[in-house]
Structure formats: structure tokens, C-alpha cells
Amino acid sequence: MAEKYIPMWEKLGMDIQKHNQLLNGLGQYYTAVVLPQKNRPKGMGYFDFVVSEVHGLRIQELQEQRAAGNKVIGAFCVYAPEELAYAANATMVGLCGGADFSVPDAEAVLPRNLCPLIKSFYGFKLNRTCPYFQASDLVVGETTCDGKKKVYELLSELVPTYILEVPHKPDSQKGKEFWFKELEAFKAEVEKLTGNKITAEKLKAAIELINNKRRALKRLSELRAKSPSPISGLDGLLIEQIAFNDDPIRFTAKVNELCDELEARVQNGEGVAPADAPRIMVSGCPMAIPNWKLHSIIQDAGATVAVEESCVGTRYFTDLVEPKGEGVDDLLWAIVEKYSKIPCACFTPNERRIKTIQELAKQANVGGVIYYTLQNCHDYNVEGVKVERALKAQDLPMLKIETDYGTGDSAQIKTRVEAFLEIIRGKQ
Ligand code: BJ8
């Protein structure tokens, strides 16, 4: 895809040479890890195409929208309320932050002992190889974990950045009232950026747009929960990752089309792995595209990932925005309620997440949980203690993997995953 998009990338101020290296690496990785999977549903063809054009055609679409006077808002967290962006004719996109590629550039500035996701996104802005960053008129950060919060200060030197202050006790009435005020302020910011007023009618339509996307992802997740799963965990994860970059209407239609195909597979008892293959839940830190390391190791070891308890996973789509009235305030309150239920480990107490993990494990009929923590992510790392206790009470084994974006520890992780799968097989 490279040649024809070079003028666009140049216009976006990208480092063309470095970006080519990134694309070559990404293409090779995809060809080695994703494409060779056996018995993939036909509907994955669309998502393969999206990945092949993720820095090309999709960016061209965003640039066309910008040329028509609409804005692009980049985000890193599922707490960024995309409904408000779409209600003002803006598009919200996930920014690059899932690859080791940009980490060395970030480490020239940031401390090394920092979460790889944070180093990755900062490095992508520094080295100008993420076209989503370059095409964003505004970046939305949030006060979730300390690492992100402080790096957003540095990021704001490079790109206009707006910080959402998220309540750390989101379940409390005080927390919800606080979040309502934050949403009002963000709404005003988006109106100022776009020049468009967010009316109740437009906000209602945007809520439905994003609800439909979440419904489609939920439908896919429920199909993956069937035994045997009709689609691989790696493909499931890939779709959850693409959800943050693709056009929401087209994406929703394509996910539903795929689900029709998967329903037929379920009816025929057709799975991607043998019926007795161990089933795993991956729970923990988000896996931004192209972070496929753990899933590919688990699959290569003969198991199926049946569900991701993650923000690139169930935390994004489990709950919908459900308005109880028609006015702008009613709609904002419905957004408050939905977002307050996202069980991020940055918040406290977070019993909702523990219960969710227990329920998801039952629904997806998993034999064990692989708890995934990115290095130096204290929130998910510490919360793993409670998760392990809760799973033990359910007689479910848990394996804790703490890693980064590099491949240096892949062989070691593989050995540990294989040993874990033996435990699960022994219990089956
Ligand atoms: S709602 S999980 S997307 S903050 S960056 S916390 S891995 S040390 S991403 Fe997240 Fe929003 Fe919460 Fe979800 Fe840890 Fe790294 Fe922080 Fe991270």
C-alpha cells in the first residue's frame, strides 16, 4: 500500500522512512502470526483488509472528513466518551500504543521502568509514525493511572491534549456527579473544537451508533463463549482492536455479518480447535493493535482464548448507554451510568471487576485464567492478588504473566503457558 499514500503521509508530517520500517515489520508479523491460522471464517477477509489498510485507506477517509470540515479526536482509554465526539460530527480513533517499535524513541526521554503501553504511545508521537496521531485535531487523555497522567503533560507539548478527570471512586454518588460535570466540560470542548452544537437529537443518534457497535461486539463475544469456539481468540482480539479505528457503521455491519457465519458454525458444531482443547480467559491490561503476542503463544500451545476481560474486550462493550429521558442532561446521565461501570483497576474499590471475571469464566466455560499485566502497571498487577483469590474460590487456576511488548521473554512465557495448560488438562 505504501507508494500511493506517501503524499498523504508527507502532508501529515510523518517520518516516511521510519514509517516504512514499521509497516514492513507489521506486514511480516501479520503474515507470520494471523494469516496462517487454520479454518478462519470467510468474514475475517474484511478485517484482514482493514489491517492491510490501517495506515492507508482509513487515514485517507479521516483526511477526507477533515477536508469536509469535520474533526478527528484521538484517545487512549475506553473512558473517553466517543458518543460526544460523534454527536458533534467528529470521529474518535484509538491512537497507536501497542508496539515495541516506538519504545526506544520514548526511552530517550522517559524513564525505562514505565508501562510499555505508555512508552509506546509517547514514542509514536515523538517519532511521527502513527498517522492517527498525526491526523488528530485533539487528543483526549484521562487521569487514570499515574504513568499516563504524567506523560500526557509531556504529550501536550507535542499535540493539543485535553485531559478528562475521571473519578477514582466511580460508583459513589459524589463520583458520578463529578463525572457528569466533566462530561459537560468535555461536551463544551468538543463543541468549541468542531463548531457544532451537541443537541439532544444528535447525542441520541450518536449513543445509538456506538451502542450498535457494542451490541455487535457483545454478540461476537457470546458466540466465542460457545464450546467449541467458532472463531479463534486471536481473530476475536483482532476485531476488538479494530473496533477503535474503523468506521463504526461499517464495522458494526461487518461484525454482524461475521456473526451470522459463526452462528451457522455453532449450529453445525464446527470449531476452530478440537472440542477438548483447553479454554482460557485472558484478563488484565489492554492489548492494543498489534499486540498479539500472548494470544499467539496460547494458541500455538493448543488452547483457545474464549474471552478477553480487558478494555480491548468485554470492558468496552458489556454495558450500553441506556437513556431514561430525552433531554441532553438525561443523555449525559446515561453516559455517566455506563462509563461508571467500566471496572478499570485504576479505581477503588473495584469489586465489580472481580465479580465480572468470575461470571465471564462461567459463561465462557473456561478451564483457567491467564492474568496479563504489562510491566510496571501497578494497578492491574496488585489487583491480580484479589482476582487469584476469587478464582481459587471457584476452583479455577490462574497463571500470572507480566511482560512487555518485546519478544525476549516469549520462549519463557511459552514454557509457562504449556505447563499451565497441562494443569488444566489434568482437571478436565
Ligand atoms: S479504563 S485499563 S483503557 S486506563 S497505561 S493502566 S496498562 S500502567 S491502559 Fe486503561 Fe482506560 Fe483503565 Fe481501560 Fe496499566 Fe499501562 Fe496505566 Fe494502562
pLDDT digits (tens, 9 = 90+) for 253-273: 999 999 999 999 999 999 999
Tracing cell 485535553 back to the chain, one arrives at 162
Pair 117, 286: CB distance under 8 Å: yes
Q: Does position 2 have pLDDT exceeding 80, yes or no?
A: no
Quote the ligand 1 centre to 277 CA distance (angstroms): 31
The residue-averaged pLDDT of 21-34 equals 97
Q: Does 106 score more than 90 pLDDT?
A: yes
Report the percentage of the chain scoring pLDDT > 70.
100
Q: Closest ligand 1 atom to the C-alpha of 285?
A: 7
Is the distance from CB of 72 to CB of 91 less than 8 angstroms?
yes
Within its chain, how far is the Cα of 305 from the centroid? 16
Complete edge-to-edge strand list for the sheet that includes strand 138-142:
91-94, 72-75, 138-142, 161-164
CA 172 to ligand 1 centroid distance, Å: 21
The pTM score is: 0.98
pLDDT > 90? residue 275: no
Distance 288 CA to ligand 1 centre (A): 11
- For residues 281-308, average pLDDT: 98
Query: In this predicted structure, what is the pLDDT of residue 119?
Result: 98
With cell 458518543, the residue in question is: 83
Q: Rounded mean pLDDT of 233-240?
A: 98
Q: Residue 114 CA: which ligand 1 atom is closest?
A: 8
* pLDDT 10s digits, 134-156: 999 999 999 999 999 999 999 99
Say if residues 253 and 340 touch (Cβ distance below 8 Å): no
| Ligand 1 atom closest to Cα of residue 342 | 1
Share in percent of the chain as helix, strand, coil (round to 5): 55, 10, 35
Which atom of ligand 1 is found nearest the CA of 118? 5
pLDDT in the model for residue 428: 85
The yes-or-no verdict on residue 322 having pLDDT over 80 is yes
Which pLDDT value is given to residue 1?
55
Confirm if 299 and 33 have CB atoms less than 8 A apart.
no
Whether the Cβ atoms of residue 255 and residue 105 lie closer than 8 Å to each other? no
> Mapping DSSP to helix (H, G, I), strand (E, B) and coil, where does residue 283 land?
strand
Helices (H) and strands (E) in the chain, counts: 19, 8
Nearest-angstrom CA–CA distance, 284 and 228: 24
Residue 222: its pLDDT value, please? 98
| Average pLDDT score over the chain | 97
Q: Whose CA is nearest to atom 4 of ligand 1?
A: 144
pLDDT, residue 140, reads 98
Whether residue 39 has pLDDT greater than 90: yes
- The CA dihedral of 359, 360, 366, 369, to the nearest 10 degrees, is -100
Closest CA to 63 of 141, 162, 136, 147: 136
